[in-house]
């Protein structure tokens, strides 16, 4: 595979999954990890990605970022607009982080009184000027890669509350493997968030459908609602419809 082809593949994977591991890229591209590291260095130096220990991140995964840095921005705006319709007055809402959740936070109606608990400092800041929303940041160790609060203190806090809705993005989703991710700390955190919530709402661009990461977060049947930019009747959503997941 030519270097340009490798670079295109790497950027595509980072755009879709926000974070990639050098070891996974080496296997997918059938090259050495040294070759991958050189590729990541070049892409970092050209400003297309952010290289970190063991892999790389999307530029939209780090604050501050511009809308032009966000992959599939129009699709994520559409998803956020649909997800807003699930929120009712006086709900207790729990959110993860990520650009789609940030977009949802940005468009919450000004006349909607709810309480939002979040593990994302960026989401908390986005909501801080909303006139009717009570915002609670669940504090812990701030993960440098994902920029959300993690750790046992966060999980212990979640054990004490039952939320009406939990809004989460995902790195992988398929009927066979459910929700998957590549970071153990994030997996454990998401498991606790799901357990603490009456209904799980997954926000997912269509390109991530039927993709799988290395670690399972939850079974497909634990998803209450799946929100994509597609029309609910789209044939790509047929496998999820057969699992009785509410589609938006």
Please give the full DSSP string across 193-213, using - where no structure is assigned: HHHTBS-EEEE--GGGBTB--
Domain match, 164 and 44 both: no
Last residue of a domain, one of 13, 29, 61: 61
In a domain, 236, yes or no: yes
Domain match, 142 and 176 both: yes
Domain match, 173 and 196 both: yes
Domain match, 77 and 174 both: yes
Please state, in angstroms and rounded to a whole number, the distance separating the CA atoms of residues 123 and 218: 23
In a domain, 95, yes or no: yes
Residue 16 sits in a domain whose CATH number is: 1.10.10.10
Domain match, 9 and 91 both: no
In a domain, 66, yes or no: no
Last residue of a domain, one of 61, 82, 102: 61
Q: How many domains does the chain have?
A: 2
Domain match, 165 and 233 both: yes
Burial class (CB in 10 A: 0-12, 13-18, 19+), 154: buried
Residue with tokens 């997954």: 202
In a domain, 101, yes or no: yes
Domain match, 127 and 237 both: yes
Domain match, 50 and 81 both: no
pLDDT in tens, 169-189: 999 999 999 999 988 999 999
Domain match, 109 and 206 both: yes
Please state, in angstroms and rounded to a whole number, the distance separating the CA atoms of residues 170 and 187: 10
Distances, alpha carbon 60 to alpha carbons 21, 68, 96, 162, 235, in Å: 17, 9, 15, 31, 30
Residue 159 sits in a domain whose CATH number is: 3.40.50.10470
Give pLDDT tens digits along the chain (248 positions).
788 999 999 998 888 887 888 998 999 899 999 999 999 999 999 988 889 888 888 876 665 556 666 788 999 999 999 999 999 999 999 999 988 999 999 999 999 899 999 999 999 999 998 999 999 999 888 887 778 999 999 999 999 999 999 999 999 999 999 999 988 999 999 999 999 999 999 999 999 999 999 899 999 999 999 999 999 999 999 999 999 999 99
Task: With beta carbons less than 8 A apart as the criterion, state whether 137 and 116 touch.
Answer: no
Structural domain that includes position 18: 3-61
Question: Of 69, 56, 47, which is closest to residue 10 (Cα–Cα)?
Answer: 56
For residue 169, the SS3 value is: strand
**For 13-62, what is the HEC assignment?**
HHHHHCEEEHHHHHHHHCCCHHHHHHHHHHHHHCCCCEEECCEEECHHHC
In a domain, 204, yes or no: yes
Please state, in angstroms and rounded to a whole number, the distance separating the CA atoms of residues 220 and 148: 24
* pTM, entire model: 0.88
Domain match, 180 and 227 both: yes
Domain match, 110 and 86 both: yes
- Residue 64 is predicted with a pLDDT of 57
DSSP symbol at 222 = G
Residues 6+ apart with CB under 8 A from 113: 89, 90, 132, 133
- Residue 63 is predicted with a pLDDT of 56
In a domain, 67, yes or no: no
Question: How confident is the prediction for the chain on average, in pLDDT?
Answer: 91
Last residue of a domain, one of 13, 34, 61: 61
Domain match, 27 and 119 both: no
């Amino acid at each position: 595979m030519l270097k340009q082809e490798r670079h295109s593949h790497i950027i595509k994977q980072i755009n879709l999954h926000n974070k990639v591991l050098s070891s996974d890229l080496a296997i997918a591209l059938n090259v050495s990890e040294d070759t991958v590291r050189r590729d990541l260095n070049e892409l970092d130096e050209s400003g297309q990605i952010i290289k970190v220990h063991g892999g790389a991140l999307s530029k939209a995964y780090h604050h501050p970022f511009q809308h032009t840095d966000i992959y599939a921005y129009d699709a994520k705006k559409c998803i956020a607009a649909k997800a807003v319709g699930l929120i009712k007055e006086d709900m207790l809402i729990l959110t993860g982080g990520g650009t789609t959740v940030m977009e949802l936070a940005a468009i919450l109606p000004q006349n909607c009184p709810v309480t939002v608990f979040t593990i994302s400092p960026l989401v908390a800041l986005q909501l801080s000027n909303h006139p009717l929303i009570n915002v609670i940041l669940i504090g812990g160790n701030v993960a440098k890669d994902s920029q959300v609060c993690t750790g046992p203190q966060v999980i212990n806090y979640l054990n004490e509350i039952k939320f009406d809705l939990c809004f989460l993005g995902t790195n992988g989703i398929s009927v066979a493997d459910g929700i998957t991710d590549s970071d153990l700390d994030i997996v454990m955190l998401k498991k606790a968030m799901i357990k603490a919530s009456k209904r799980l709402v997954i926000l997912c661009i269509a390109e991530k459908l039927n993709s799988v990461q290395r670690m399972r977060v939850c079974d497909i049947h634990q998803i209450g609602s799946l929100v994509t930019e597609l029309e609910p009747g789209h044939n790509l959503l047929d496998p999820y419809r057969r699992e009785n997941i509410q589609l938006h």
